[in-house]
Amino acid sequence: MAVIASDRGRRAARAGFFYRPEVRQAIYQIITVVALVALFYILITNTAANLKRQNIASGFGFIDRTAGFDVSQHLIDFDASMTYGRAFLVGLLNTLLVAGLGIVLATVIGFTVGISRLSTNWLVARLATVYVEVIRNVPVLLQLFFWYFAVLKSLPEPRQGSYAIPGGGFLNVRGLYLPAPVPEPGFGTVALAVLIGVVVSIAVYYFARRRQMLTGQRFPVLWTSLALIVLAPLGVFIALGQPLGFDYPVFRGFNFQGGMVLQPEFVALLLGLSIYTASFIAEIVRSGIQGVSKGQKEAALSIGLSKGQSLRLVVIPQAMRIIIPPLTSQFLNLTKNSSLGVAIAYPDLVSIWSGTVLNQTGQAVEVILVTMGVYLSLSLLTSAFMNWFNSRMALVER
């Protein structure tokens, strides 16, 4: 009897041991770790064996070797005699350029369309709705192809005549030719005047805020700043005899000379990405503004703020809190989508590094891991910055 009872007790205790939550959790976690280690072990040994069999070197020794290819658009000096490392930098800068400009352009278009969707003007609201519904339901890659192959690549050759753009620019199959600004002696003084204007405006802003806090009197900050930043430097500019020239593109022989040229690949990628992302930003802006409760706006009007003031001081600050987090992920999407440039031969990071360099060296593992690492760090940096901005905008609760 006693033997049976104690045996049962022991069995219950033993079963109980495995039914205790912390024991179970420990077991599951050990299984996870073992499975992960085993997976990575298998992957790494297989990869090593495969690389050895195919005689592919490993390591990053190749970045010091000569690249041997040219790149059509480079922000820093580059030619075929430079290294793979330098080519990587060229690609990275091109990615950053198109992503940065794309974010600015997409934000401008997106906010305009988003606010238009809420316009009391029926026609304007309808047009904005059509824009959003058409653009966001078509793949971005298709839109890039459209802009690049169907629009920009079917423009006339320079010698068959280009489209003239007001102000001295030209558009043809080789790209967008624009006048390049050429600073002349004395232009530095104008730049200095702008800088002084900005610094003084910031000081005026803080002074005006303190005075309003203390006395309640308002100060026309906007107009003072405009005068300081625009009018004063303009005065200096005219007084110094307009020290800024323009180098206009001129048609000579077979092509345009002078000015600056934006490659068709770049223009197509920038247009495609901004127009596509703008349709998502417009929806975010619309729902953000609609997310501010009606009572807030009515309260603002009832304490005597004008319509513009209630929008600027009450609605928009609250809408921004709803808008910023999803806006961040759209900026990240645009940056990641810039990698589609590879499909229209824009020399971005993916095109140069995961395309040409990968093909020439065959070192897939290193090249792809570096590419992923770059995008991962860009994503983390952007979201860190936007989180900081978001916390600045967040509601300060007492």
Partner 1 sequence: MGPLAWMRDNLFSTWGNTILTAIGLLIAYWVVSTVVSWGILTATFVGADGSACTREGAGACWPFITAKFAQFMYGRYPDEERWRVDLVYLLALAGLVPLMIPRVPGKFWNAVYVFAVFPVLAFFLLVGGVLGLPHVDTSLWGGLLVTLVVATVGITGSFPIGILLALGRRSKMPIVRWVSVGFIEFVRGVPLITVLFMASVMLPLFLPPGMSFDKLLRALIGVALFSAAYLAETVRGGLQAIPRGQFEAAEALGLSYSKRMAFVILPQALKLVIPGIIGGFIGLFKDTSLVLIIGLFDLLGIVQLNTADQKWFSPTTAMTGYVFAGFVFWVFCFFMSRYSQMIERRLATGHERTGPAKAG
Site residues, partner 1 (CB under 8 A): 25, 28-29, 32-33, 36, 43, 46-47, 49-51, 53, 115, 118-124, 127, 133-134, 136-143, 145-146, 149-151, 153-154, 289-294, 296-297, 311, 315, 336-337, 339-340, 342-343, 350, 354, 358, 364-365, 368, 371-372, 375-376, 379-380
Nearest CB to partner 1, comparing residues 137 and 217: 137
* Least CB distance to partner 1 at residue 346 (A): 13
Task: Decide whether 193 or 349 has the Cβ nearer to partner 1.
Answer: 349
| DSSP 8-class letter at 257 | E
Q: In the complex with partner 1, which residue's Cβ is closer, 193 or 283?
A: 283
Residue 255: partners with Cβ closer than 8 Å, 6 or more residues away: 158, 174
Query: Minimal distance in Å, beta carbon 372 to partner 1?
Result: 5
Q: How far is the CB of 318 from partner 1 (least distance, A)?
A: 10
Nearer to partner 1, 115 or 393 (CB): 115
> Considering the complex, what minimum distance in angstroms separates the CB of residue 379 from partner 1?
4
Work out how close the CB of 174 gets to partner 1 at its nearest, in angstroms, rounded to a whole number: 17
3 state SS of 398? coil
Q: H-helix or E-strand containing 334?
A: helix 316-337
Closer by beta carbon to partner 1, 151 or else 180: 151
Nearest to 362 by CA among 58, 68, 46: 58
One-letter amino acid for residue 294 of the chain? K
Sign of CA dihedral 278, 279, 283, 284: negative
First-to-last CA distance in the chain?
70
In angstroms and rounded to an integer, the radius of gyration of the C-alpha atoms of the chain is 30
Report the alpha-carbon distance of residue 43 to residue 162 in Å, rounded.
55
* φ, ψ dihedrals at 177, nearest 5°: -95, 125
CB 98 within 8 A of CB 273: yes
Amino acid (one-letter) located at 79: D
Between 51 and 234, name the residue whose CB sits nearer to partner 1. Answer: 51
Cβ distance 181 to 175 under 8 Å? no
CB of 183 to partner 1, least distance (A): 36
Which of 39/195 has CB closer to partner 1? 39
- Tokens encoding 324: 């910023």
**CB nearer to partner 1: pick between 263 and 337:** 337
| Least CB distance to partner 1 at residue 129 (A) | 12
Task: Specify the residue, 29 or 257, whose C-beta has the smaller distance to partner 1.
Answer: 29
Query: Do residues 268 and 148 make contact, with C-beta atoms less than 8 angstroms apart?
Result: yes
Residue 14 structure tokens: 């033993």
**Residues 192, 289 contacting (CB under 8 angstroms):** no
The answer to whether the CB of 266 falls within 8 A of the CB of 344 is no
Question: Taking the complex as a whole, how short is the minimal distance between the CB of residue 338 and partner 1, in angstroms?
Answer: 8
> Tokens for 159?
């010698």
Q: How far is the CB of 1 from partner 1 (least distance, A)?
A: 31
